[in-house]
Chain A
Amino acid sequence: MTARTNMKSRTAQAATATGETILAVRQLKVVFDTPDGAVEAVKGVDLDVRAGETLAVVGESGSGKSQTMMAIMGLLAANGRASGSALYRDREMVGLPIKDLNTIRGDKITMIFQEPMTSLDPLYPIGRQIAEPIRHHRGGTAADARARVLELLELVGIPEPARRIDSYPHELSGGQRQRAMIAMALANEPDILIADEPTTALDVTIQAQILTLLQSLQKRFGMAVVLITHDLGVVRHVADRVVVMRRGEVVETGTTRAVFDAPKADYTRMLIDAEPSGEKAPPALDAPVILQGRKVRVDYKIAGGFLKKSGLFTAVHGADIHLRQGQTIGLVGESGSGKSTLGRALLKLTPSSGRVLFDGRDISGFDRKAMRPLRRDMQLVFQDPFGSLSPRQTVGEIITEGLYVHEPQLSKAERDARAVAALQEVGLDPTARNRYPHEFSGGQRQRIAIARAIILKPRLVVLDEPTSALDRSVQGQVIELLRGLQASHGLSYLFISHDLSVIRAMSDYVIVMQGGQIVEEGETAALFSNPREAYTRALLSAAYSR
């Protein structure tokens, strides 16, 4: 919505970023030797990075966008080989001996990564880690380097830098860790900063802060930024030029404006259109309430030890919720907001206090055995389609397992028929039931997980970030599927997500959580157009300012 106005300011900036080409990549290829033979991950990529510009390299997983940069930086895995050319100011980087490469990387070209937790060494204080490349490339005393690190920490907005300089990564928040990584990247005032999905692992409000920080630092230092991302919203917001990649090849290159306004490649158009859209009408006013939570509260004991006190952590502070037949309630919040915990508490999968009513029956006191007959009516789909399917069972075994418990009278042939029907319903070929999960893509696996839930003909499905691990184009398909299933079976959904655009497309009612508390709730359209609470406004502006 505000993308248009942003675009204007971008074009103004793009005009100033007409610097010379400082990195010229030509016919870059990356091949990985695998037990099944050589796999070509990057198939002859051409791209230019100009001084001072922001170049976005966009693509879905497997497009080769990261591997292209890894190849240039000499960071491919041991079984990877790069060929072709990458000229950095007339120096050929492909095939450069490590020793010479080390005079460029960390000094002239630096990188930040997706996972700020694992990208920093957990065993050393951040100050020491940031100082390492300074001392290696610039020399100088430890005291000089420390003074420089303090300056940098201040610059990237880490509070109390004098204290934080001696903190370990695990003592910082995700956003602070990424700020520390940025400080490290800026330390030697590089020509090019390569940012590989720098905000993907962060909450939306933090994402916005990090992007703003990167932009302001870029202006100040005049470096070029190569932004590798799958998130078109981010691209539209910050990039001057865009390179779109698919399956190891560049499908389109152009200014951000040209690519978004008039995409030349079908694939680019598909990516742009893949932003979730549509909305859901609320259920009929007389639709019965299927799930009700009253003052649901979840406390976790913090384990003590021998002669050590234990503590109590409240993950959900007394939440009320009414889910009606055919309704979708979107549960939004950042990590640690208690949204998943509330979902599990409502399904009696985690101990809670307060009352939970399912179909008018009070199930608060039910134990595992008493819950079992109800389980077929309330199903759960998880975020990670890789971790939630047993790798040692066939798809058929996975999706029919619940039938053994809830409909033991079925014959083998009947079970098989149900499996075929469920797979067809989620848009998979029924022959899939004889194969194993690892043979399927992320989106297909999520379809399998959904088939496992609907085969029991449930009435309520809790969807815990079901689309978060998927590429945008696949996300759209899964959302369509879920909406279709809801319409044909009259399902009620509790849809848990941090992704506001998905929530908006899926749900008719939204609950916003923060720190274990419900801060705001309301009908989707009203809440999105007129948020009352400051936190909701911050979330919305972070997600939609692009």
Chain B
Amino acid sequence: MISFILRRLASAVPTLFIVVTISFFMMRFAPGGPFNLERPLPPQTMENLNRAYGLDLPLWEQYLRYLSNVVHGDFGPSYVYRDNTVDQLIAMGLPYSIKLGLLALLLALIGGVAAGTYAALRQNSLTDLLVMSVSTVGVTVPNFVVGPVLTLVFAVILAWLPAGGWGDGSLRFLILPMIALALPQLAVFARLMRGAMIEALHADHIRTARAYGLPARTVIVTHAMRAALLPIVSYLAPCAAGLLTGSAVIESIFSIPGVGRYFVIGAINRDYTLVMGTVVLIAIFVIVFNLVVDLLYGLLDPRVRHE
């Protein structure tokens, strides 16, 4: 078990190296640079800036320098937010994104599993159709529509909840962004769960459990649901990594000071270091959650347990 975790963490190093390398060069081959503003800077200023940030060095030297900084945990200064380093920006924004993301993940998971199970147990009935139609809507309607509509209804018209901002971080402020962020994932979970549950209910060992007179609740919860959760758990890793590293759209609509916006702002302004920092952050989350999911998988399914 411990050796499995260590092995997996060790294998993350080459993965991260490849991610850093590819995104570094892709970013650099994109036209423009951090100081190409609408009104061009005087050549002298441009030169000074480039020198100050080391952008005048040959590309491979910049790459090596960046690599050695990253190894030491230093993502460098931001070109857009000139008063801050990328590390500072992430440290400031990440807690907001994680808190919102975790809540949204919980909502999506619980809601999706419940809705999917409910639909599966009433396969092809009207309620099943209804749950599945709603979840199709959940997947297809983009969150930049869901967000403003929620704000309009619950903040503007009904005035039950604040329209945006973090406030004191209490649940009141988080409900609307949480729902907007969770909805598409909830729909995905519901569809996955329905399919997996229908399949699980057809398994031979479910017939055995029924043949032995076990009550419906035991058959469904103990025997069918555990098997049906396996595909859900597999999807958990990319989903959690996506939600916890913040959503640019949701954080902008609800004015939440998370890290989600940095990727878009950084990419538009060619803020090399900020984009790189965000990419590495997301990569780390994906790797960590994949590991967590593999461990969870082993917990649920003895056949893939790691000795």
By a beta-carbon cutoff of 8 Å, the part of chain A in contact with chain B is 73-75, 78, 98, 101-107, 110-111, 113, 115, 118-125, 132-133, 136-137, 168, 170, 181, 184, 305-308
Contacts and interface: CB of A to CB of B under 8 A. Distances in A.
Given A123-B226, A307-B10, A132 B212 contact: yes
Given A119-B204, A119-B205, A308-B7, A106 B211 contact: yes
B216 interface: yes
A115 B215 contact: no
11 contacts: A75-B210, A78-B123, A105-B211, A111-B212, A123-B227, A132-B214, A136-B212, A136-B214, A137-B213, A170-B302, A307-B11
A181 B205 CA distance: 11
A75 B302 contact: no
A123 B302 contact: yes
A103 B212 CA distance: 9
Contacts of B211: 73, 75, 105-106, 110-111
Contacts of B208: 111, 113, 119-121, 181
A73 B208 CA distance: 11
A121 B10 contact: no
B26 to A, nearest CB: 26
A107 B213 contact: yes
Interface of B: 7, 10-11, 123, 203-205, 207-216, 218, 222-223, 226-227, 300-303
Which of A74, A98, A119, A308 gathers most chain B CB within 10 Å?
A: A119
Given A120-B205, A123-B301, A170-B303, A306 B215 contact: no
B212 A306 contact: no
Contact of A103 (B209, B213, B223): B213
Contacts of B212: 105-106, 110-111, 132-133, 136, 184
Contact of A132 (B203, B204, B218, B300): B218
Nearest to B230: A123
A105 B207 CA distance: 12
A168 B204 contact: no
- The 3 lowest CB-CB distance pairs between A and B, nearest first, are A106-B213, A106-B212, A102-B213
Q: Do most interface residues of chain B lie in helix, strand or loop, or is the interface mixed? A: helix
A122 B214 contact: no
Which of B123, B211, B223, B301 gathers most chain A CB within 10 Å?
A: B211
Nearest to A77: B202
A373 B205 CA distance: 48
Contact of A121 (B215, B216, B223, B300): B223
Contacts of B207: 75, 113, 119
A113 B208 CA distance: 8
A120 B210 CA distance: 12
B224 to A, nearest CB: 9
A122 B226 CA distance: 10
A107 B215 CA distance: 13
A274 B303 CA distance: 42
B302 A122 contact: yes
A118 B203 contact: yes
Contact of B213 (A123, A124, A133, A168): A133
A306 B11 contact: yes
Given A118-B205, A120-B208, A105 B303 contact: no
Contacts of B302: 122-123, 125, 168, 170
A307 B9 CA distance: 12
Contacts of A115: 204
Contacts of B223: 121, 123-124
Given A75-B207, A113-B208, A118-B205, A123 B214 contact: no
Contact of B300 (A103, A118, A123, A181): A123
Contacts of B214: 102, 106, 132-133, 136
Nearest to B211: A111
A159 B216 CA distance: 33
Contacts of A107: 213
Contacts of B210: 74-75, 105
B7 A307 contact: yes
A267 to B, nearest CB: 29
A151 B141 CA distance: 59
Contacts of B209: 121, 132
Contacts of B301: 122-123
A122 B206 CA distance: 11
Contacts of A133: 212-214
Given A110-B211, A123-B226, A168 B7 contact: no
Which of B7, B212, B222 gathers most chain A CB within 10 Å?
A: B212
Contacts of A120: 205, 208
Nearest to A306: B11
A105 B213 contact: yes
A103 B215 CA distance: 10
A124 B224 CA distance: 12
A305 B204 CA distance: 33
Nearest to A194: B211
A126 to B, nearest CB: 11
Nearest to A168: B302
Contacts of B218: 132, 136
Given A132-B218, A136-B218, A121 B213 contact: no
Nearest to B8: A306
B14 to A, nearest CB: 9
Nearest to B227: A123
Given A119-B207, A123-B226, 15 more contacts: A74-B210, A75-B207, A101-B213, A102-B213, A105-B212, A113-B204, A121-B209, A121-B227, A123-B227, A124-B222, A132-B209, A132-B218, A133-B214, A136-B213, A307-B10
B213 A104 contact: yes
Contacts of A111: 208, 211-212
Contacts of A170: 302-303
A172 to B, nearest CB: 12
B24 to A, nearest CB: 24
Contacts of B216: 98
Contacts of B203: 118
B124 to A, nearest CB: 9
Contacts of A184: 212
Contacts of B213: 101-107, 133, 136-137
A308 B10 CA distance: 13
Given A73-B211, A106-B214, A184-B212, A118 B10 contact: no
Nearest to B11: A306
Nearest to B226: A123
Contacts of A137: 213
A225 to B, nearest CB: 15
A121 B303 contact: no
A74 B210 CA distance: 9
Nearest to A184: B212
B292 to A, nearest CB: 18
A168 B215 contact: no
A120 B208 CA distance: 7
Contacts of A119: 204-205, 207-208
A178 B102 CA distance: 45
Contacts of A308: 7
A118 B7 contact: no
A184 B218 CA distance: 17
B135 to A, nearest CB: 22
Contacts of B303: 122, 168, 170
A305 B307 CA distance: 14
A122 B211 CA distance: 17
Contacts of A181: 208
